[in-house]
Amino acid sequence: MRGVARRPGRRKRAAMTGSNQINLPDAQGFFGAYGGRFVPPQLEAVIKEVEEAYLAIRQDQSFWDEYQSLLKHYVGRPSPLWHARNLSTKLGGAQIYLKREDLNHTGAHKINHCIGEALLAKRMGKKRLIAETGAGQHGVALATAAALVGLACEIHMGAIDIAKQHPNVIRMKLLGCKVIEVTQGGACLKDAVDSAFTDFVTNHKDTFFAIGSVVGPHPYPMMVQDFQSVVGREARTQILEQAGRLPDYLVACVGGGSNAMGLFTAFLPDKEVAIIGVEPAGKSATPGEHAATLTYGTPGMLHGMKTYLLQDAQGEPLPVHSIASGLDYPGVGPIHSYLKDSKRVEYVSANDAETLAAFRQLSEVEGIIPALESAHAVAYAAKLAPTLGKDKIVIVNLSGRGDKDIDYVAEKMGL
């Protein structure tokens, strides 16, 4: 999706109820130099409609009251903040706390924004929700939200990911959702996004495209970040209650980056809190064998936004790989690009082997089976904690549970 976007003078955006505590993006959807809405003319009016509807409900207290009620009584929020004492003792050094998004209804953080997007679509009079998914957690969450509010749902998913994430495919179908198998290109997350956008252009009158991360054209990065920011607000309150102070470090995995921004946003003004995003280093640094966008990528255009991406000399997205289907995306949310350049967040990586080891270690030591996506963050925390004093605190966003991954992991580990 490419196009031309004008960029008039900036202004601060209005704060939603339960504000992010930051004044980004600007009115045109730019986080510093990144973001915006670069779409073909036939899509401009369609996405402008989404922006106008969201900006209106963003100031509507009745919307947020309904949203918060569903988070509490349906999703099961607040999710716990767990002091992983066993893991902390085994590793030595810092105390590790896990923000248990895996305990949400549907098993991941994705339900936070899917509930919000489904409510918005309903208020806009749409009849159908569509989305892309990689690991399947966004697809399951959106199918769940669609069933809850009474909308039809269709999920586009790469053929490779369908094979890896079969349990989530079955869940989506049980929830009444139609799953579209995408075979073009690399048959993974990027291609599922392309397929869903094509559907959206054709059927926009009755359809709402619920993008699954802080990616895409404005207002999607802002909107998904707003809905996910509940994670960090809760974690901030919880760590103050449990430890009496703010953490020293935050750690979260980054693919598109929604779970990371969910945790990070509430802490961005707290300069004493170091923030670390963990990308998938995959098998090696060779192009096509990783999805470490902020580590190896350069600024470019992808899916209606300016952001860092893994691209060839012609600006076309490169093939990517991650052991975690939810992270195999050649781009990243534009706010992460801004936070990288501003140096507010440090971006590192964990490879497939480190991730598998962390998956097994957390399962055996804490009795918590993490999603492979989340295990990237656990892997980096396992390296970080021993280098710190025992008085230091690290919060890891455990963005999802590993039920969906156990067959794939069992094959990889020979179990």
24-66 pLDDT, tens digit each: 799 999 999 999 999 988 889 999 999 999 999 999 999 999 9
Domains, the chain: 30-69+110-225 (3.40.50.1100), 76-108+229-413 (3.40.50.1100)
φ/ψ of 41, rounded to 5, equals: -55, -35
Name 179's bridge partners: 155
Q: What angle do CA 382, 295, 339 make, to 5 degrees?
A: 90
Question: Residue 289 catalytic?
Answer: no
What is the rounded distance in angstroms from the CA atom of residue 415 to the CA atom of residue 411? 6
pLDDT reported for residue 2: 37
φ/ψ of 22, rounded to 5, equals: -135, 155
Question: Residue 110 catalytic?
Answer: yes
Q: What angle do CA 128, 138, 299 make, to 5 degrees?
A: 105
Catalytic residue among 51, 88, 110, 258: 110
| 107 Ramachandran zone, left/alpha/beta (phi>0; psi -120 to 50) | left
Question: Residue 213 catalytic?
Answer: no
Name 395's bridge partners: 97, 250
What is the rounded distance in angstroms from the CA atom of residue 243 to the CA atom of residue 228? 24
pTM score, two decimals?
A: 0.92
Distance from chain centroid for Cα 345: 16
Query: Each residue of 172-212: pLDDT tens digit?
Result: 999 999 999 999 998 888 899 889 989 998 898 999 999 99
What is the rounded distance in angstroms from the CA atom of residue 404 to the CA atom of residue 410? 11
Catalytic residue among 51, 101, 132, 279: 132
φ/ψ of 285, rounded to 5, equals: -80, 0
| Segment 239-259 mean pLDDT | 98
Two structure tokens written together for 114: 């899917």
pLDDT reported for residue 414: 87
Name 220's bridge partners: none
Question: Taking Cα atoms as reference points, which of 156, 137, 136 lies closest to residue 200?
Answer: 156
